């Protein structure tokens, strides 16, 4: 019984008890995974809502539902804590859920939440005017992980990178190349990175033939995209199905099509020689320029064309855009504009992430791509590897700023959370390796293993934690909070290490050990699955682990 099924049963029960009054609270009824397993598997606000509705105490609301919930929902027990009803699933349900639900997901089967809906996830989309930096890399990891989860849960997902290959920044890039060759004076707003100098010198003849700054800029942008963006993304294990170029929006007549649509809806006006979108109709304080008085199209018009292409021309039901906090105002205005244009034809959802602050030697490094002061993703991967960066970027909600401490993420220490997770995995792998060397095979009767181990508190809490995984994946598919998965895997790792310190796995009793080995395989499988979604590379062995394991598992493992 997963969370969705349990909520449906809870709703049916509440409908029976409350009759017509249930419709009043139905929309506000929530069922959530418990943050702390000692508070149960799930918690619901049902009693709080009933207390408000019936004007009775929480205790009276609890009495109204207690016996009915215990018989109807097949739960082990329920508790009223701080206004919330905590629900503990019984052993039988936990076993069935694990066997059917979790193992199905771990086997790679897709569930049907998405029902094949087309979703386009756009992320990174950094201007191709310089190397990929930390400012864009957080979006890369969020987008990569979210796309995997949406695909797993039955959505038809396309992953896309939008390439801004036209406009003023491309012209400035071309001018910078000319300045690096000494053909024009160097201006303050030109790009100052060493990479532009290298591109200009290595492609001097081609640049001289192109002559025009915008053509030169587009040529240089293609080189930057190929060598300084796509290559580090590949090392970062971030994939895209498509690179969509802004210049393609102006081929054919998509601009004329959307401008006519806006005119029909009376959403545009000409003023001071420019064409304006009447965003003031949505409550905005000012309108937005679509075409400047010199005839040049604005970025805002390009974004309207692009999202119309996503949702209408390519028939995606949902467009998810993952962008940095500096786009907050723009995304709000863009969403309002697209709501005017689309009506009910599609949905846009923006995930806004805060930027990354790099800490080195306990000091904040301030970065600027145009001034040439930055840490590139490629350099950071070379220094610490992809896993620590991915973990730090995924660990916090996108709403929170991230501090990337270079010294901490390189430490082989339990203070370093990503190393701690790898340490946990390597410990499990080490025990399984010793069991194999001792010719101890896992039991083939999983139910017997479950029943014998479940009543032991250390095992039970780990079963309950693993049981959360399928629900957690579904939650992320609904609300896009990929940071929930890193929190879960870190919590699981802590429980595993606490368990390991108290429990002797390899013992003289081979039958008992065979049951425990199967349990460890379940733990390892859960970690493997989570690692795959997060884009981590499992570490089967760590140098420090070898030094640390002068412990009980090395002492007479089989008797």
pLDDT tens for residues 448-460? 888 888 889 999 9
C-alpha to C-alpha distance for 23 and 60, rounded to whole angstroms: 20
What number is the average pLDDT over the span 252-280? 91
Query: Phi and psi for 157 in degrees, rounded to 5?
Result: -105, 135
pLDDT tens for residues 88-113? 999 888 888 777 766 665 555 556 78
* C-alpha 38 chain-centroid distance: 27
**CATH number of the domain enclosing 140:** 3.40.50.620
C-alpha to C-alpha distance for 80 and 505, rounded to whole angstroms: 36
**Mean model confidence pLDDT for the chain:** 89
155 and 275 share a domain?
yes
52 and 140 share a domain?
no
Predicted local confidence at residue 548, as pLDDT: 53
Is 388 a domain residue? no
Among residues 353, 387, 402, the one where a domain terminates is 353
Q: How confident is the model at residue 361 (pLDDT cuts 50, 70, 90)?
A: low
**CATH number of the domain enclosing 505:** 1.10.730.10
**CATH number of the domain enclosing 41:** 3.30.1360.70
**Distances from the Cα of 392 to the Cα of 231, 235, 455, angstroms:** 21, 17, 36
What number is the average pLDDT over the span 23-44? 94
Counting residues of the chain whose pLDDT is more than 90, the rounded percentage is 67
Has residue 71 got a pLDDT over 50? Answer: yes
C-alpha to C-alpha distance for 308 and 8, rounded to whole angstroms: 37
82 and 166 share a domain?
no
Question: What token pair was written down for 61?
Answer: 């609301």
Predicted local confidence at residue 97, as pLDDT: 79
240 and 320 share a domain?
yes
Specify whether the CB–CB gap between 352 and 328 falls below 8 A: yes
What number is the average pLDDT over the span 79-83? 93
By C-alpha distance, which of 397, 258, 240 is closest to 337? 258
302 and 168 share a domain?
yes
Counting residues of the chain whose pLDDT is more than 70, the rounded percentage is 92
What number is the average pLDDT over the span 36-54? 94
For 89, the enclosing helix (H) or strand (E) is strand 84-89
Is 397 a domain residue? no
* C-alpha 8 chain-centroid distance: 27
Count CA atoms within 13 Å of residue 328 on its CB side.
8
C-alpha to C-alpha distance for 449 and 469, rounded to whole angstroms: 20
Is 38 a domain residue? yes
| Lowest mean per-residue pLDDT among 42-46, 76-80, 268-272, 503-507 | 503-507
126 and 244 share a domain?
yes
Is 97 a domain residue? no
Exposure of 392 by Cβ count < 10 A (0-12 exposed, 13-18 middle, 19+ buried)?
buried
C-alpha to C-alpha distance for 488 and 504, rounded to whole angstroms: 25
Give all strands (DSSP E) within 125-273, no chain letters. Answer: 156-163, 242-245, 268-271
By C-alpha distance, which of 150, 217, 234, 226 is closest to 180? 217
Has residue 420 got a pLDDT over 80? Answer: yes
210 and 340 share a domain?
yes
What number is the average pLDDT over the span 57-65? 95
* C-alpha 221 chain-centroid distance: 28
Has residue 545 got a pLDDT over 70? Answer: no
Has residue 434 got a pLDDT over 50? Answer: yes
What number is the average pLDDT over the span 126-139? 89
204 and 319 share a domain?
yes
Domain of residue 177, residue span: 118-353
Other C-beta atoms lying within 10 Å of the C-beta of residue 543:
9
Has residue 412 got a pLDDT over 50? Answer: yes
How many domains does the chain fold into?
3
pLDDT tens for residues 158-197? 999 999 999 999 999 999 999 999 999 999 999 988 999 9
pLDDT tens for residues 309-356? 999 999 999 999 999 999 999 999 999 999 888 877 789 999 999 988
Q: Is 376 helix (H, G, I), strand (E, B) or coil?
A: strand
212 and 277 share a domain?
yes
Is 448 a domain residue? yes
Is 392 a domain residue? no
Is 367 a domain residue? no
For 547, the enclosing helix (H) or strand (E) is helix 543-548
C-alpha to C-alpha distance for 206 and 480, rounded to whole angstroms: 45
Predicted local confidence at residue 128, as pLDDT: 96
Predicted local confidence at residue 557, as pLDDT: 28
Among residues 328, 353, 378, the one where a domain terminates is 353
pLDDT tens for residues 278-287? 998 888 889 9
418-431: burial string, b at 16+ Cβ within 10 Å, e else: bbbbbbbbbbbbbb
Among residues 353, 377, 405, the one where a domain terminates is 353
41 and 133 share a domain?
no
335 and 439 share a domain?
no
149 and 58 share a domain?
no
Is 387 a domain residue? no
Specify whether the CB–CB gap between 86 and 47 falls below 8 A: no
């Amino acid at each position: 019984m997963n969370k969705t099924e349990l909520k449906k049963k809870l709703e049916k029960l509440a409908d029976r008890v409350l009759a017509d009054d249930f419709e009043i609270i139905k929309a506000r009824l929530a069922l959530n995974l418990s943050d702390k397993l000692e508070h149960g598997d799930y918690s619901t606000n049902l009693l709080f809502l009933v207390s408000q509705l019936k004007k009775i105490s929480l205790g009276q609301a609890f009495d109204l539902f207690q016996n009915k919930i215990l018989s109807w929902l097949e739960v082990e027990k329920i508790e009223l804590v701080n206004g919330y009803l905590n629900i503990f699933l019984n052993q039988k349900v936990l076993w069935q859920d694990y066997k059917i639900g979790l193992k199905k997901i771990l086997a790679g089967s897709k569930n049907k939440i998405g029902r094949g809906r087309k979703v386009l996830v756009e992320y990174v989309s950094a201007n191709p005017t310089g190397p990929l930096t930390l400012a864009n890399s957080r979006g890369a990891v969020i987008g990569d992980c979210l796309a995997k989860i949406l695909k797993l849960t039955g959505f038809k997902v396309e992953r896309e990178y939008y390439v801004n290959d036209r406009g003023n920044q491309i012209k400035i890039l071309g001018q910078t190349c000319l300045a690096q060759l000494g053909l024009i004076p160097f201006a303050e707003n030109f790009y100052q990175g060493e990479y532009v100098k290298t591109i200009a010198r290595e492609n001097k003849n081609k640049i001289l033939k192109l002559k025009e700054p915008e053509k030169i800029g587009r040529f240089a942008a293609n080189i930057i995209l190929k060598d300084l963006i796509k290559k580090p993304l590949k090392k970062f294990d971030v994939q895209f199905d498509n690179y969509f170029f802004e210049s393609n929006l102006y081929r054919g007549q998509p601009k004329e099509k959307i401008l006519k649509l806006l005119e029909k809806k009376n959403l545009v006006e000409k003023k001071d020689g420019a064409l304006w979108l009447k965003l003031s109709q949505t409550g905005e304080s000012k309108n937005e320029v679509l075409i400047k008085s010199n005839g040049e199209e604005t970025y805002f018009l390009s974004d309207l064309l692009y999202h119309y292409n996503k949702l209408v021309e390519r028939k995606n039901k949902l467009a998810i855009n993952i962008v940095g906090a500096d786009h907050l105002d723009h995304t709000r205005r863009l969403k309002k504009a697209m709501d005017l244009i689309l009506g009910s034809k599609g949905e846009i959802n923006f995930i806004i992430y805060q930027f990354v602050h790099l800490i080195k030697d306990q000091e904040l490094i301030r970065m600027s791509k145009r001034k040439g002061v930055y840490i590139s993703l490629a350099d950071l991967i070379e220094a610490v590897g992809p896993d620590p960066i991915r973990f730090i970027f995924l660990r916090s909600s996108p709403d929170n700023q991230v501090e990337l401490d270079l010294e901490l993420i390189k430490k082989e220490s339990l203070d370093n959370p990503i190393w701690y997770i790898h340490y946990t995995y390597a410990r499990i792998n080490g025990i399984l390796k010793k069991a194999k060397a001792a010719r101890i095979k896992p039991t083939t009767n999983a139910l017997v293993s479950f029943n014998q181990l479940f009543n032991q508190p250390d095992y039970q809490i780990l079963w309950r934690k693993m049981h959360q995984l399928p629900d957690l994946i579904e939650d992320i598919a609904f609300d896009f909070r990929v940071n929930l998965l890193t929190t879960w895997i870190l919590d699981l790792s802590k429980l595993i290490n606490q368990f390991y310190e108290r429990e002797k796995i390899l013992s003289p009793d081979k039958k008992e050990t065979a049951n425990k080995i199967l349990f460890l395989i379940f733990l390892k499988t859960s970690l493997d699955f989570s690692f795959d979604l997060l884009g981590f590379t499992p570490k089967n062995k760590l140098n420090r682990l070898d030094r640390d394991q002068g412990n009980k598992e090395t002492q007479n493992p089989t008797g």
